Structure 1
Amino acid sequence: QLSVITKQKDKLEGFNLVIEGGNLISSGVIAAERGTVIEVRNIFFNTPARKKFLKTDAVELRHIIDVVTQYALANPSISFSLQHEKHSLLNAPQVQDQRSNIASIYGTQLAKELLEITYKDDHLTLTGFIGKPSQARNDKHQQILFVNNRAVKNVDISNAVHNAYHSMLFHGKYPIFFLSLTLDPFMVDVNVHPQKHEIKIDQIDMVKDVVMDAVNTVLKENNLIPTLNLEFEQPSSFVQKETKYSFEKSKQQVLDVEERNHTESIPTESSESMPPVEVYHDDQGQEVEPTPQIPVKNSLPDMKLFGQMHKTFFIAETEGGAFFIDQHAAHERVMYEQFMVQLLKKQVATQRLLQGGMMDVSPSEKILIDTNKAELEQFGYLLEEFGQTSYVIKTVPSIFGRLQPLDSVKEMISSLEKGNSIMELKETIITRMACRSAVMAGDELTNTWMQSILNELNRCDHPYTCPHGRPTIIKITADELEKKFKRRG
C-alpha cells in the first residue's frame, strides 16, 4: 500500500499517486507543499507468510536505520530525517562537506578525529575518511563503503583497509572508515546479491593494492597520538588506593634521572641488545649528557625529554602540552620495525654465542629443523648438529639479544609443528620476539638510553602504537591541566 505526493518548485499544484498490491487505486492533482512524500503502509498485507521470517522489532529497526544512514552519507546535499513512534532516530541536515555529514550522524567527537583520504589515478578514485587506530571498534558497524555511489559490502576492500593498519590495532579491533570508490562500471558486477549488497570487482588485486597503499600513506603522514581528556576522569577519592608504582626520592627526581650504567639499569645477557648510544664530551674531554631534545625529523612532533616516571613512562614537553611515552611499547615498536627491515632485505644482523646453546630434539623436531634450516638462518638462528638428537645454537639475531635462544628456537619449532612455515607466521613471531626483548616496565633507564629509544621511534613508519596495537604515546594538553587546576573555566 503505497502513496506518493510530490510537487515541483515551479508548479502551483502537486500530484498524488496511490497503489495497492501493484494496482493503481487513484491518481491526480492535489494541493501539496514543495517536495516529495512517499508513504508505505502494511507492507505484508498481501504476503503474510513473509512476515514470519522477520527478526525482532529492534533488529528490523536497526536495519532500517542502517539503510537510511547509508543514503544520508552518500548524499550530503540532501537532508534526511528518520522518526519512529514520534521519536527522532536520525537527523542529517543538508551540508556542504562529508565531514560535517558524518558529524551530524555519528557525532562531532568522532568526525573531527577522522583522517581524510584522497587518491586518483587512471583506473579509480578513492575519497573519504578513515579513523585513527585509537578509534578502532570491536565490530565493523562503522565500516561504510560506496562503490560508484552505491552502498556495498566487499570483503576484499575491507581486508585491504584492515591490512593497512596491520600492526597498529589490537587483535579483534576493526578500523573505522567511510570510503567512496569510483570505478569504471564495466569493472563492477552488481548481480551477485539479490539486494545488490555485495559486488565483484574486476582486477581486484590491483584495486586492493591501491586502497591499502592509500590508507597506509595517510596513516604515515598524520599525527596519531591520542589526546587524554581529563574531563572524563572520575573524581579522586579521599581514601588512598594502593598502587603498583612507588616513588623513590633517592633515585628519581622531578626533572632529572640519576645516571646509571646500562648494565645496572637493565638486566641483559648481551650489550648487542641495547640500542646504539652516542657518547658526548665537553671541552675538557669529560663525558656529558646530550641535550634531551628530539631532532626535527619525520614521524613524531618535536618534544623535550624530561625523564622517567615510575620506571615505566617517559615524560616529555611538547607544543601545547606534555607527552607520556610507554617505554616498553615504544621500544617494542622500534625493535619490530628494525628487525622487519633486516628480514625483508635478508640482512639480519647476528651475534655469535661464545658457548652456544645446546638443544635436544625429538626425531620429528629434527626433521622440521632440517627442512626449515634456511628460514631459521634468515631469522638469524644458525643451528649445527651435535650428535643424532641435539643441536648447538651458534648465532642469534643481535637485536633480540635479551631473549633466551633456546626458548626462541623451540617456539619457532612449535609453530612449524602446527603446519605453518616460519615466513607465513613472521608477523606473529617477530611481534612476540620484540615484546619479550624490549625494555620492560620497572627497568630504570638513563637519559641517554631514553633519548636513543625516542630517536629510533622517530624513524619508525608507524611510531604511535606497538605491534600489538597499544598506544606508545598519549598527550595531555595544557588546556586540560589548566582546567584541573581551576586556572580557567
Structure 2
Amino acid sequence: MDRGARARFRPEEAPSAGMKPSALRQLSPELQSKLRSCTVISSIGQLVEECVCNSIDAGATKVSVVVDTGSTLAITVSDNGRGMSVRDVRDVGRRYHTSKCHDLQDLSDNIKTLGFRGEALASMSDLSVLEVTSRAAGSFETYTRISTKAGTATLACGPARYQLPKAGTVITARDLFHNHPVRRNMIRRNLQKQLEDARARVYRLALIHPAVGVSLTEFNGRRKELMRLPPGRSLLSALSDAFGSALASSLVPVGLTVGPFRARGYVTPSNRALNSPEVQFLYVNRRFVKKTPLHKAVKDAFNAARDPYESRRGPVTAPPGGHPGYVLCLDCSPSEYDVTYDVEKTLIEFRDWEMPLRVLNEALREAWPPIKEKEKEPDPLEPPPQTREPPVTPPPAVAVGGTETPSKDANGNCICCPPLARRRLGVPSMGTNDDDDAFICQTIEPFEDAPPPQQQQQPQPPNDVRSLLATWKNPVPAEMYQPSMPSSTANAVVTRESLENATVLTQWGKKFVLIRSASGDLFALDQHASDERVRLENLRRDLTARGDAVTSKVLPHPVPCELSAAELATLRANASSAHRWGWRWEDDDAGGGGVSLTGTPAIEGTTLGGDALGEYLREIAAVGLTSAPPPALHRLLASKACRGAIMFGDMLRRRECVALLEELRKTQLPLQCAHGRPTAALLAPGAVVDEDAALTPRNRRKMLAAGVLKTWRASQEKKRHAPLKLRIGAKKVVRA
C-alpha cells in the first residue's frame, strides 16, 4: 500500500463496533403483513366503511352493521348481495385476492367499484379473527371460513353451521386489534368518537347510494340503533333525517352537462351560511373525495356570491358562520382521473383539472351568481350615477368677458366642482324636462358666442376612489416598520413573571397604568383589557364554583331544536353535561329522533337556545368534554365583562391602580383580555430605567412618561404612513 493510501486509512479513524452501520435486511412476510395492515385499517370506522363498500360493490340493497363494544370488541356486517362461490370463500381474506381488478388495464381505466386493491379483508384478518359466511346467488349451500394472520392461518373452512335464507354475505371480525394493545386501549377510551366516525362514514356512502338501505347498531348488552336509512329514499329525505327539514327545504338544485362531464347536486343559498362544514359532500363517480381543487372551487364560488361588505348581524351568543353546504357529484369517465395511493382512497388526481373545474364552476354559477360591481352598494365617496346619457363629445369651454368658463367632463359635469360640492352648487335648469340632473353645475352668467379655445383640452384623470386606488402607489416601504428602540427591547417578552413584584408608577393618559417590574422593565398596562380579564374570570368562577346546574328558564311551550344526527348522538352521550349548563329537552312525539327544548340557560337576563346547544355539542365532538363553559356562554360572559370593565378616559387613583394589578396577577390568563388582546406591553427595558434610578420619584415618572410619549408618537407616525383601507358601504375611511 502506498503512502497516500496509508494516510487515508488511519487506525484511529476506523469506526468503533457501536458505530457500524446496520445491514439492510428484508422484513419477514409476517412483519410485512402486520405493518401493512396497521396502515390500511386504523380505526373501527375505517373497518366498517371497507365492509360496507364491499357490500355495495356486490350489488346489495340492504346492509346491516352491528358494532359490539363489549369485552370482545367485534363488528358484524351482513348484506343481501350476490354472495361468493365455494372457491372464492376458500381464498377470501388473503392479501391481494380480489374480484374487481385483474390486470393493469382494469386498474387504470375501469375503477368503477369502491374497492379494488384486495387489502381490506386481509388487513382485518391480520388484526382480528375474521369469519366470512356467504351464499352465492342460485346456490343452496352456505360456506364459511375463519382465518387470521392476513388469511394465511385458516382456523376453519367448509359448510356453515347455519344456512343463510337468501344469497348474501356476513362478515364478522372478533377481538379487534388483539395484537395491538396500545391501539386497542386508545379505541376503548374513545368509543363514542369511534362510533361517530363509523356513522359519518356509513352515512356518506348511503347518501350517494339511495337504493341501498343501511342500518348501524351499537350492542353492549342491549341494542342501540344509531342510524337507519331505508332503501329507495331520496337524497333530500336522507339530508332531512340527518340535518333537519329546515336545511333540506332550503337547498337549491344545480346541474350541468358539458361533454363527458356532468355536475349535479344541491347547495345551500348564498345568504345562508352554516355554522360548521359537516354538510359538505363531494363525490366523483359516487366516490367520496376530499381535499381536492374541486373543494377550493366550491368555496371560492360561495365566497364570491356573498356580500363581503355585509356586516354580521345577530346577538352576541350567535355562533360564527361562513361555511357553505353542498352535496355535489361529478360524473365522468374513469379514465379521466386516478385514485391516488391513499389509505382511505379519498384523494384523486385528474389528467387535466381545467375541464372538471370549469363544469363545476358553471353549474354553481346558477345557484351562486357572483356579485358584480354594479350590484354592490355604491361608494359614498363616489359621485352618484347620472340619470341621463352623457354627451358623446364634451362641450368646449366658453369665454365670457375675457374670462374662460370651466369645462365639463364626459358626463356633462363641471370639472372644477368636486362631487360633494357639486350637489350644493348645482342650480336646476329652467326647462320643463324632468330628466335634468340637479347635480350638473350651471353657469350663472349669460352665455355668449365665442370662438373655440386655442388650447387643446387635456383628458382629465379619473376622480373616483376605485380608479385612484388602482393607480396609487404606497410610499411606505414593504419592510416592516421598526421603531427606534434598544435591541434588548425587541427581544424582551411580557410574561407572567413580569407582573410579579411589579410596582405601580402612575396612570398615563387615562388609558394605561405604568408599572415597573422587579428587573426594572417599564410596562404599560391597558386598564380596560386588564379589568375585562379580571371580570371575565370572576364571572366564570361564579358559574363553575356552583355545585348545581346553571339556572334554567322554563319555556312556555316546547321549541323544536334542529340538531343533526351526530349532534343528537353527542347530546345523548353527554346529557349530564348539557343539563349542568341549563338545557332541558324532551323527545319529539313524532318519533323522528329529534328533541324539543323545554328549558334554556338564563345568564343575567340572556337565554341560550338551540343554536348555542348545537355549537356546544360540536365542540364536544371535536375536542372532547371539558370543564370550560359552552362557546356561546363564553361569548356572553366576555361581552358582559367588556361592558362593565373600566373604560378609556376613566381616572384611576393610585390605590385603584394597585388593586387592578393585584387582581390581574390572580387570573389564569393575565396577559390577554376576554377577546384575546394583550393586556400589557413593554415600553423600555431595565437598562433604560436604571439610568434614572438616582432621580427623585417625581422626576423619574416624568421621564418615563416622556419615553412613553415618544413611543406613542412613533406609532402615530407609522399609522400616518400606513395605506388607507376603505370600507365600502360603512360610510367612513379608516387607517390600518
TM-score interval w.r.t. the shorter chain? 0.3 to 0.5
Larger RCO: 1 or 2 (CA < 8 Å, sep 6+)? 1
Q: Which has the higher strand share?
A: 1
Name the larger-Rg structure.
Answer: 2
